């Protein structure tokens, strides 16, 4: 979808100064963001379920194409997603239980690390109260509390799972009518229907590819950590899988725990080995394989991708960081793709298919200009008399 940049904005916007439009838009965006953040407890699992339902919809389509009744196809979609969530939740519980049981074994090493850090900070003139507050966190109980806080309370996790499962059932049932509804709307709002359809395809491809590559990344990391004898290798492999959904910065969150525990069991050689293994796997998967598979499907600039992770993490919490790309694609579909008057914004957001061609042509012209300039200067150099 490509459109030329219009000569002017729509007539409705010409009545107001551009500065007024920008300020009002920023104010509306701020109010919307604050409102969304206020209901993050229910909105985050609902949006997460929406992404799951979009990714699972092809299962229904495939079954219905083979003559399976609508109700059975809907039940199959719910069952598949439920089994995947249940299996992942069970694996997380087992891995966290393993982590909690082995953590007290490193209480002495953790205390030594805290003492070394305290000595270094005291030499720098840091206040003793701040040093004590920092070193107090180098205990098994503090570390376990930290990870428990990241995962959330039992009540919070249970509430989110209830919302996810309930919304999954309802969305899967309502998903039966979505294709027909879109066909009904297409004659009146074809651009909206096209934008939503493209959004669903983009999300499916991105999430499926990222999930497959994330599983491969997590498995490879787990195997490497087991070989290096790093404790709780399964938990860190799961962390690597989850962080693979967070562009740009997920790698740094995934590597810190295994590096620390690798250092505790094997010193610097093991810690450096973990860094090397994670760096190689991350570079191959996210820098070589994923761009070739996903291609221009997402069409978001690197800057916007990074900002979207920060923005959605602040607005709706950790789930927002994981589904930041689908949420940004949804916002673009509603605000940009659905309105032909705003298509000229797409290159600025990252749809550089035409921009790359223009850049390539401009580079060719620049290169030819340099060649012509050097060619025109050679005869003059030869005709210049010697001193």
Dihedral pair phi/psi, residue 4, rounded to 5°: -70, 150
> Using only C-alpha atoms, what is the Rg of the chain?
27
DSSP 292-314: HHHTTSS---HHHHHHHHHHHHH
- The C-alpha atoms of residue 374 and residue 313 are separated, in whole angstroms, by 53
Query: 246: Cβ–Cβ under 8 A, 6 or more apart, which residues?
Result: 253, 309, 321, 322, 324
- The C-alpha atoms of residue 164 and residue 349 are separated, in whole angstroms, by 31
- The C-alpha atoms of residue 315 and residue 349 are separated, in whole angstroms, by 20
For the chain, counts of helices (H) and of strands (E): 18, 0
pLDDT for the residue 5: 45
DSSP 311-346: HHHHHH-HHHHHTHHHHHHHHHIIIIIT-GGGGGGH
Can you tell me whether residue 154 is helix, strand or coil? Answer: helix
pLDDT for the residue 374: 82
pLDDT for the residue 1: 47
Which three-class secondary structure string do you get for 189-244? CHHHHHHHHHHHHHHHHHHHHHHHHHHHHHHHHHHHHHHCCCCCHHHHHHHHHHHC
Q: Which of 96, 49, 99, 48 is nearest to 77 (CA)?
A: 49
Instruction: Provide the b/e sequence for 20-47 (b: ≥16 CB within 10 Å).
Output: eeeeeeeeeeeeeeeebeeebeebbbbb
pLDDT for the residue 144: 65
- The C-alpha atoms of residue 59 and residue 268 are separated, in whole angstroms, by 48
**Chunked in runs of 10, what are the mean pLDDT values of the chain (387 residues)?**
49 68 86 89 89 86 84 84 81 74 75 73 70 66 64 63 85 85 90 90 88 90 91 86 84 86 86 91 80 71 86 89 91 88 80 77 84 75 53
Contact between 194 and 340 (Cβ < 8 Å): no
pLDDT for the residue 10: 53
- The C-alpha atoms of residue 228 and residue 265 are separated, in whole angstroms, by 9
Strands (E) located in 247-299:
none
- The C-alpha atoms of residue 358 and residue 201 are separated, in whole angstroms, by 27
Contact between 229 and 260 (Cβ < 8 Å): no
- The C-alpha atoms of residue 103 and residue 139 are separated, in whole angstroms, by 9
DSSP 8-state secondary structure symbol assigned to residue 384 = S
Q: What share of the chain is helix, strand, coil (3-state, %, to 5)?
A: 85, 0, 15
Ramachandran bin of 152, using left for φ above 0, alpha for ψ from -120 to 50, beta for the remaining angles: left
- The H-or-E segment that residue 95 falls in is helix 70-102
Contact between 332 and 342 (Cβ < 8 Å): no
Ramachandran bin of 125, using left for φ above 0, alpha for ψ from -120 to 50, beta for the remaining angles: left
pLDDT for the residue 208: 86
pTM as predicted: 0.78
Q: Please classify residue 328 by burial: count the beta carbons closer than 10 Å to its beta carbon, then call 0-12 exposed, 13-18 middle and 19+ buried.
A: buried
pLDDT for the residue 222: 92
Residue found under tokens 């094997």: 266
């Amino acid at each position: 979808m490509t459109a030329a940049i219009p000569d002017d904005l729509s007539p409705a916007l010409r009545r107001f100064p551009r500065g007024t439009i920008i300020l009002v838009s920023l104010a509306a965006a701020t109010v919307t963001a604050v409102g969304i953040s206020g209901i993050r407890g229910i909105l985050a699992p609902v949006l997460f379920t929406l992404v799951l339902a979009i990714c699972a919809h092809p299962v229904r389509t495939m079954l219905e194409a083979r003559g399976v009744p609508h109700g059975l196809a809907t039940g199959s979609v719910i069952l598949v997603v439920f089994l995947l969530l249940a299996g992942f939740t069970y694996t997380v519980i087992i891995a966290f239980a393993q982590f909690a049981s082995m953590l007290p074994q490193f209480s002495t090493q953790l205390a030594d690390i805290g003492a070394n850090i305290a000595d270094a900070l005291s030499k720098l003139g840091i206040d003793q109260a701040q040093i004590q507050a920092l070193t107090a966190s180098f205990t098994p109980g503090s570390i376990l509390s930290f990870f428990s806080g990241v995962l959330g309370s039992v009540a919070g996790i249970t509430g989110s799972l209830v919302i996810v499962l309930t919304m999954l059932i309802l969305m899967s049932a309502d998903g039966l009518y979505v294709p027909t509804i879109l066909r009904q709307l297409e004659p009146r709002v074809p651009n909206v229907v096209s934008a939503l359809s493209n959004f669903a395809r983009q999300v499916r491809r991105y999430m499926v590819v990222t999930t497959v590559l994330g599983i491969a990344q997590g498995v490879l990391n787990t195997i490497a950590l087991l070989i290096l004898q790093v404790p709780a290798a399964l938990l860190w492999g799961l962390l690597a899988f989850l962080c693979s959904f967070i562009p740009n910065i997920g790698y740094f969150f995934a590597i810190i725990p295994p590096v620390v525990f690798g250092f505790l069991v094997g010193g610097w050689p093991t810690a450096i080995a973990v860094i090397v293994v994670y760096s190689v796997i991350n570079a191959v998967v996210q820098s070589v394989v994923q761009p070739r598979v996903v291609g221009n499907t997402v069409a978001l600039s690197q800057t916007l991708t990074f900002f979207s992770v920060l923005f959605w993490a602040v607005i709706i919490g950790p789930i927002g960081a994981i589904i930041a790309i689908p949420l940004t694609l949804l916002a673009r579909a509603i605000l940009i793709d659905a309105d032909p008057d705003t298509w000229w914004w797409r290159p600025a957001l990252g749809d550089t298919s035409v921009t790359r061609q223009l850049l390539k042509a401009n580079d060719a012209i620049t290169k030819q200009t340099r060649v012509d300039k050097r060619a025109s200067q050679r005869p003059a150099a030869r005709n210049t008399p010697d001193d």
